Structure 1
């Protein structure tokens, strides 16, 4: 595992001006009514890597009884092609998930905490403060692992409504207090206006200047690319997206699909921003995702 505080890509620099993490294998699949077989998920990862995607969020180490689409996470990580320049990450909500991810030799473990208390109770079964406390102990118990943070419902919660910036900052500080120096803020519903995300992002970055922030954007009405533009103006260079625009959150009523990786890449390239991703090869990966979903096993 990487040394504490290190990130794998620091040894293997990524090309381009912006780093895109494709999350279709995790956030994309978790809201679909089928279970995609592990070999198909491996094939999608390989196709994304062939397109030049260097950061892939491949799974969640969560209870498969609650999220059956994420079953087989250990089998998946054992089969993923390693040794190249791709960084594979996975989500964990609690100490059990962290321990499973460490045992599976995940490159980067994403610690997820909701800013909205209502979403935290629905998603993790506990309030945000309790989630932070459990993750703090888990991080301390695995000093050799690489961790990043993700704040769900960072701007708007389906249960609590608009999240005050101080609430988001409390959660971000909690993660930073564990030694996390990189985190993404998620517009989980995809409904938050770009200008509000930009204002909140600027405030949080000013309060935590040693943390590198990125955005995880869902897209309710085509506004996600406007948010990307606003974030670029602030100097943000990391974004999550999902091939094909799939995704959502089964524990966030009203959540829309993710910003599509292919739309994000095309938009950035049109602005002269490099990503290191080949658009034609990415289109092939998107086509493969659709085929894999079509032959997935329906949930019963």
Structure 2
């Protein structure tokens, strides 16, 4: 693979409006969420995760997900994903116009029970009905705790591969390997992504990482070099899982963009992303963890990526 980041062709999906809002103290209004969707799409971000069908009492900052969906056009929804975990979630979202579904289960049985209230095998049993309920929409298989579990520790890579290859997952268009706790190292990420691509049915492969141990960008680049076609990030590194003690925010969208340099990104559009992230983080009363955003605000004015 070329070492020129602009030639990698990897897609960045921004997941601020789902994973990024799970642990914040307050949520943007529905209208502001819609504005953020449109700003990110207009800047060139290829796809977004815009909410979750999880119970509103468990994740109140995402309770208005279907209101956000209602405010978007069919063309906008073509580029937007919604988190789901049951066929009922899929049906309710599809009735409102959602066409891209991120169907999630945990490789770790203990985390699946904490997150979804059932065993991993029970969640796997629901996947065929979830795919059918999508009515021709795209369903991703999203594997949380692919590396470590907050309750049971390290996760066996063989178990990740087994689940990704399970016949019950037929019909899913992508498989997303998730470092839910941000405890993986680049070599582990590269090895698992390569195995999933080689040993499971042909699908796009994605990587969803957190930056708890400071390896978020390195892990994403390792995933891309192992063949991942897309990676997830959040503005300002917001995020975390309420059912995963020890997890911090996602890898920052700004950091991933600066490292990957997708073809649509220019210094000007990068500056706009940095400014948008600053506004979103400030409105939430949070702090950005993005190193690229810090660099962009430096006084190294001879460097073209500095925000002026």
Secondary structure of residue in 1 paired with 2:171: coil
Gap change, CA 1:81 and 1:142, over 3 Å in 2: closer
Query: Residues 185-209 of structure 1, C-alpha deviation per residue, up to 9 Å, x if partnerless?
Result: 1100001111112112212211015
* Cα distance change, pair 215–176 in 1 and its aligned pair in 2 (3 A): farther
Aligned to 1:131: 123
1:279 aligns with 2:270: yes
More off after superposition, 118-127 vs 165-174 = 165-174
The structural deviation recorded for 1:249 is: 0.2
By relative contact order (CA 8 Å, sep 6+), the higher-ranking structure is 1
Following TM superposition, by how much is the alpha carbon of 1:165 offset from its aligned partner in structure 2, in angstroms? 1.2
Deviations 1:236-287 (A, max 9, x none): 2310111110000000000111000001111122xxx535472011112202
Q: 1:194 aligns with which of 186, 199, 205?
A: 186
Counterpart pick for 2:205 among 199, 203, 213:
213
Q: How far apart are residue 156 of structure 1 and its match?
A: 0.8
- Give distance in 1, aligned partners of 2:17 and 2:174: 21
User: Given the alignment of the two structures, is residue 222 of structure 1 paired with residue 211 of structure 2, yes or no?
Assistant: no
Q: Distance in 1 between matches of 2:108 and 2:186?
A: 19
1:215 to partner: Cα distance: 0.3
Cα pair 2:212 2:248 within 8 Å, conserved? yes
RMSD of aligned alpha carbons: 2.1
1:40–1:292 contact (8 Å) kept in structure 2: no
TM-fit CA distance, 1:86: 6.0
1:1-300 pair list within 5 angstroms: 17-83=9-75, 87-174=79-166, 177-269=169-261, 273-274=262-263, 276=265, 278-294=269-285
Gap change, CA 1:221 and 1:182, over 3 Å in 2? same
Do the aligned partners of 1:54 and 1:86 also contact (CA within 8 Å) in 2? no
TM superposition outliers: structure 1 runs of 4+ over 6 Å: none
**8 Å contact from structure 1 (residues 50, 281) kept in 2:** no
In structure 2, stretches of 5+ residues that fail to align are 1-6, 287-308
State how many pairs are aligned. Answer: 278
TM, length-normalised to structure 1: 0.86
Is the Cα–Cα contact under 8 Å of residues 150 and 245 in structure 2 kept in the other structure? yes
* Offset at residue 175 of structure 1 (A): 7.2
- Provide the C-alpha distance between the structure 2 equivalents of 1:139 and 1:92, rounded to a whole number of angstroms: 11
Match of 1:8 in 2: none
Distance 2:167 2:95 in 1: 22
State TM-score, norm by structure 2. 0.84
Structure 1 unaligned spans of 5+: 1-14, 296-300
Q: 1:262 to 1:23 in 2, by over 3 A?
A: same
